[in-house]
Structure 1
């Protein structure tokens, strides 16, 4: 088995079906398998997917286990030389998977690779091309210096858009919407950290993969379309909370010991303040 594709579904029946169909429509000259892990959807996803795609392996959870745990459930069962994390709200272009496998076969020191991820309007989903969220990078991003100086390696180290976005190059982290990982890499590094419910797990995985000496590569020669946030619209406060909790978890896990008490305090205060503002803003939107 060359490729194991893992799709986590949570009340995105139509999108998941379209995503699977886009994979089946791909020009793939390799052996592959598809796993769908359903996180207790209430829209009849499991029954419909099993009926339309009887060859797809479906794991049905009785509760929402989160993105990390759900992916891990399938990864433990898969057989591929490579594992692809693929969001349910994505459409894969016909040549994307084939080209990415060929790329990985030719670059044996690459632990994970991502492609160009485009939003429906054709613009780039910036999450597919990121630097690690150090306190400095996050600060410059939050106060707007990254946007004001997009070509500055110092101020725009969060998204690193000063790099040549049309050429293949190494990057710090990819997005979990499309991340192809070499089996040898995740067997050495370990699976996704299940402390992260549905944000930050991709950054954490990339960080650990790089720590073990593997390369993380952005390959814009192929692309997918990402209908972003489809499953996250249903519980807005839960999503807002988990997004900010992931910031805290990642900093505490990887950066807290590298900075002094003052810097760490500022980081945690910033996360709390941002969470508070986002919660209030979200509440006011719902009231309106």
Structure 2
């Protein structure tokens, strides 16, 4: 097995305790891999203007970590791209601060890539903190599967074999290794040449949708994205994004609309109209069933009209 260096990049934004845990677990995986292979693993933490003292704590407690302290939150895409431009190693690992590696994670992913040179980007399995399975990818958006997702019938139609949904939720999909159309930005292990050729995430996207947008360009450039069921990490899912009052859902919707405006401009209007209709129906439905949810959907609808 070749001695290949890795640069690990993680973003931090007001998640001091979680980021500390992430780095501690990362250090164990780093030490294990370096001892086994004799390679070098560099770690870059991009602190996006945190107000909780994250950057100072990381600098003081983990002097082996390279900290890029930004004055403001530039977003997921810009933050990662900024760090990736500094990479000189053949491999890059992007993780969220709420993604926790196991001791042998780095060794195993590097071994997987070494044994499968046709793979350019690798996704591992995700588990929640309680050990439960978490979906982590699927099929690229198109006008049909996006509209069906807005109306929340995409998974039903997938289960009877009619469509390919954007996120695939069923465990059976992830039970075996497979080529993927897109993978989650919470863990992306890739060859540096992928970034060099595609220039990374689209910086017009602040957060949500940047992973499948980049994966589309990666696929279009001829690179192979692979999922492996043999390696897994823990993902707290949402701990690093501060989901409040439907704000994360609004950002997701904005990502979908931007993607269609960029790649399916003829259908952008139809997709947006379907979004407004689906939110209107949900607002009416939950007005009867759950007033709290109705208020959230009403706010989401109001914000969506501005998109």
Could you tell me the TM-score, scaled by structure 2's length? 0.82
2:193 maps to what in 1?
A: 184
2:288 maps to what in 1?
A: none
Q: Deviations over 1:105-164 (max 9, x none)?
A: 2322322110001112323222x1211121222233343433335534433433344864
Contact 1:89 1:228 in 2 (8 A): yes
The answer to whether structure 1 residue 137 and structure 2 residue 145 are counterparts is yes
1:16 maps to what in 2?
A: 19
Q: Deviations over 1:268-287 (max 9, x none)?
A: 12344567868941688xxx
Quick one: distance in 2 between partners of 1:273 and 1:151? 24
Contact 1:168 1:218 in 2 (8 A): yes
- Alignment partner of 1:155 out of 141, 148, 163: 163
Q: Deviations over 1:137-193 (max 9, x none)?
A: 223334343333553443343334486422211011000000112111221111211
Unaligned runs of 5+ in 1: none
1:7 maps to what in 2?
A: 10
Alignment RMSD (CA, Å): 2.5
The answer to whether structure 1 residue 198 and structure 2 residue 207 are counterparts is yes
- More displaced stretch, 75-84 vs 12-21: 75-84
- Alignment partner of 1:217 out of 226, 229, 237: 226
User: Is the alpha carbon distance of 1:157 and 1:245 closer, same or farther for their aligned partners in structure 2, counting shifts above 3 Å?
Assistant: closer
Contact 1:189 1:209 in 2 (8 A): yes
- More displaced stretch, 59-68 vs 94-103: 94-103
Unaligned runs of 5+ in 2: 284-292, 300-307
- More displaced stretch, 172-181 vs 27-36: 27-36
The answer to whether structure 1 residue 93 and structure 2 residue 108 are counterparts is no
Contact 1:140 1:155 in 2 (8 A): no
Paired positions, count = 279
- Alignment partner of 1:116 out of 119, 125, 141: 125
The answer to whether structure 1 residue 171 and structure 2 residue 180 are counterparts is yes
TM-superposed CA distance for 1:229, in Å, is 1.1
Q: Deviations over 1:185-209 (max 9, x none)?
A: 2211112111110111111111101
**Aligned with 2:10: secondary structure?**
strand
Q: Deviations over 1:75-121 (max 9, x none)?
A: 11122211111000111112222111111123223221100011123
**Aligned with 1:110: secondary structure?**
coil
User: Is the alpha carbon distance of 1:266 and 1:171 closer, same or farther for their aligned partners in structure 2, counting shifts above 3 Å?
Assistant: same
- More displaced stretch, 195-204 vs 266-275: 266-275
2:237 maps to what in 1?
A: 228
The answer to whether structure 1 residue 49 and structure 2 residue 58 are counterparts is yes
**Aligned with 1:176: secondary structure?**
coil
Could you tell me the TM-score, scaled by structure 1's length? 0.88
